[in-house]
Structure 1
């Protein structure tokens, strides 16, 4: 029942309640981003959804415009937002639209798809999520091979409400302490480079 109806119902109800409760916070964050970085306040990027179907991911903007990599364009405000995952809050709208779930593998850029092994591509059989098994294991501090294997494990296991709630709470606790916000030696997470066998 949870696989067929419950997970989506949980997503819609919980995302709607969270959005309603967080409206003041999101307005404050939008003003902060507007003052620190200017327009646009939201960052939009095409990501791979369930079965690889493209959708537009929403985030609060954390990088300034201009040349250079993420580390060069990252502001103090952006670093703070990313550390505690507040930049991800607009994705609650993606959840309501049905493009994402509260729990699932994090959505990745479309150009990553050809780099997946058959095992890693199993992550595409479920909706991507705000929180996930890989994020609960350490967010961006988890290296790519381990991260993609955890995504595949989540996708292949029957969905359970208790597990999803635990993953949400675990990811929220990690975000609250800013643990795992960056990979060692990087501003966020390095790009997935090549197809590897796990």
Structure 2
């Protein structure tokens, strides 16, 4: 049922939002040039890598896979796209392909995999999502330990009703721009492990 909803909702969203997607793509092309999309390998279900697609929000560089490839490269248009979450729209294609779900733990960097504890690594027991329990429970305003704790809680408790509540809350938070780091365009510090993390947990790299 969850996968069926993902397919129908993602296809509907891509059609409904196609004028917005086209407008954002044109704006990036005119203001920042090519490439329009940002593509990066992220861990999916069972930590199997897939190529996540987003609108590009940074200047072009060869160090996009670095965990410290940071906010100094965010363009003015990119900062706007991040604040409004418009940069996430191409991820509906990932949902349609089966790489992601509408709701689930956010796909983080491949470089983070060795830093998870066995408990935290369970976030990969479900498909990653465009939004998730952590995103509606604080997003960048909470610590990594709290964020990963919400991810594993979702793995243990997810239901259709919970997914619907998360989707509704996500829309409200995007509209209100709530629970985002106060520094414009800033992202969280790189994850290097928490007090409950142990390196070498056997997670696929």
Aligned-pair CA distance for 1:49: 0.2
Question: Partners in 2 of 1:166 and 1:55 — Cα distance?
Answer: 27
Uncovered stretches (5+) of structure 1, i.e. residues with no partner: 1-5
Question: Partners in 2 of 1:189 and 1:50 — Cα distance?
Answer: 23
Question: Partners in 2 of 1:180 and 1:45 — Cα distance?
Answer: 25
1:90-129 Cα offsets, whole Å, 9 max, x none, are 0000000000000000001111111001110110100000
Uncovered stretches (5+) of structure 2, i.e. residues with no partner: 198-205
Question: Partners in 2 of 1:143 and 1:132 — Cα distance?
Answer: 15
RMSD of aligned alpha carbons: 1.9
1:116-172 Cα offsets, whole Å, 9 max, x none, are 011101101000000100000122222100000000000122x31111011011112
1:27-62 Cα offsets, whole Å, 9 max, x none, are 000011112211000000000001000000000000
| Structure 2 residue 130 is matched with structure 1 residue 97 | no
Secondary structure of 2:54's counterpart equals: strand
Aligned-pair CA distance for 1:180: 2.8
Match of 1:3 in 2: none
Match of 1:41 in 2: 36
> Quick one: which of 27, 34, 38 aligns to 1:32?
27
Richer in helix (by share): 1
Question: Partners in 2 of 1:119 and 1:183 — Cα distance?
Answer: 30
| Structure 2 residue 163 is matched with structure 1 residue 164 | yes
Match of 2:16 in 1: 21
Aligned-pair CA distance for 1:71: 2.2
Secondary structure of 1:191's counterpart equals: coil
Determine if contact 1:117/1:196 at 8 Å carries over to the other structure: no
Aligned-pair CA distance for 1:181: 3.2
TM-score by length of 2: 0.88
Determine if contact 1:122/1:156 at 8 Å carries over to the other structure: no
Question: Partners in 2 of 1:17 and 1:132 — Cα distance?
Answer: 20
Which is further off, 187-196 or 130-139? 187-196
Match of 1:79 in 2: 79
Question: Partners in 2 of 1:32 and 1:179 — Cα distance?
Answer: 25
Secondary structure of 1:135's counterpart equals: coil
Match of 2:115 in 1: 115
Match of 2:175 in 1: 176
How many residues end up aligned between the 2 structures? 192
Determine if contact 1:45/1:58 at 8 Å carries over to the other structure: yes
Aligned-pair CA distance for 1:182: 2.9
